């Protein structure tokens, strides 16, 4: 049993759970996984017993409880400073933290109108609610800028896969699920994330989950 336990929601739907899970799995950081069913009748009681925010993900480490995705990533980075979650170069690291925080705090229109659903393959052209196109344009700009300025050493935003990529991974899935057109730089980045072995592991598990959330159906 690992010293760390990551509490997550359903893999098909829980975009915030994917972020730290993906970063930690790719980095080879040992942790145990505990899944709580979203929208289950016992959900509120189960998550309230583990997290003061009442949301997933939650990282448990001994007597410590760390909630909020970026806080989890920073805590794990302190535990495993050689895991490469953030770039070594100071300028790149500052940029990575800035775009990761922008992802954490923004893009509400896209998150509202294009919820993550790894099962659905029939949503191309849907989810285009108010503000979504502006969110997509900003995301494309971030990806292009990071790739051009910092990504020469690999296929990801800052070369090697790290925390910033983990923060944007659910967005990659959304743009793929909803058939959003991408320029070649953004499309190549998207392919790199979707083919990452840790992401493939998550997606395969998500597709095998028996739980369907009716509220997530999109007409």
Residues with Cβ < 8 Å from 109, sequence gap 6 or more?
Answer: 129, 130, 131, 132, 134, 135
Mean pLDDT of 93-114: 97
The architecture of the domain spanning 4-83 is 3-Layer(aba) Sandwich (3.40)
**Per-residue pLDDT for 202 more than 60?**
yes
CATH of domain 90-202: 1.20.1050
Percent of the chain with pLDDT over 90: 91
Q: Around 218, how many Cα atoms within 13 Å sit in the side-chain half-sphere?
A: 19
Predicted TM-score of the model (pTM): 0.95
CA gap 109, 101 in Å, rounded = 16
Tell me the pLDDT tens digit for each residue of 143-171.
999 999 999 999 999 999 999 999 999 99
pLDDT of residue 213: 76
Q: Which residues pair with 7 in a beta bridge?
A: 34, 58
pLDDT at 219: 32
Instruction: Report the candidate in 38, 52, 190, 209 with the shortest Cα–Cα distance to residue 115.
Output: 38
Give span(s): CATH 3.40.30.10, the chain.
4-83
pLDDT tens per residue, range 119-139: 998 899 999 999 999 999 999
pLDDT tens for 47-80 read 999 999 999 999 999 999 999 999 999 999 999 9
Query: Which residue in the block uniquely carries the two structure tokens 């505990």?
Result: 34
pLDDT at 215: 52
Q: Tell me the average pLDDT across 176-197.
A: 97
Which residues of the chain does CATH 1.20.1050 include?
A: 90-202
In this structure, what token pair is assigned to residue 114? 């294009």
């Amino acid at each position: 049993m690992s010293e760390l336990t990551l509490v997550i929601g359903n893999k098909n739907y829980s975009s915030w759970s994917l972020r730290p899970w993906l970063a930690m799995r790719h980095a080879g950081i040992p942790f145990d996984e505990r899944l709580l069913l979203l929208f289950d009748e016992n959900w509120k009681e189960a998550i309230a017993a583990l997290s003061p925010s009442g949301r997933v993900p939650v990282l448990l480490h001994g007597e410590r409880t760390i909630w909020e995705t970026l806080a989890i990533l920073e805590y794990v980075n302190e535990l495993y400073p050689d895991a490469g979650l953030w770039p070594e170069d100071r300028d790149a690291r500052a940029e990575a933290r800035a775009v990761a925080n922008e992802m954490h705090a923004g893009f509400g229109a896209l998150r509202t109108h294009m919820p993550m659903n790894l099962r659905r393959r029939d949503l191309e052209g849907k989810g285009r609610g108010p503000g979504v196109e502006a969110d997509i344009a900003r995301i494309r700009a971030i990806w292009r800028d990071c790739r051009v300025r910092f990504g020469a050493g690999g296929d990801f935003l800052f070369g090697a896969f790290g925390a910033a990529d983990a923060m944007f991974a659910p967005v990659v899935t959304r743009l793929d699920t909803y058939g959003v057109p991408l320029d070649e730089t953004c499309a190549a980045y998207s392919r790199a994330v979707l083919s990452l072995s840790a992401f493939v592991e998550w997606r395969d598990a998500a597709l095998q989950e028996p739980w369907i959330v009716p509220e997530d159906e999109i007409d």
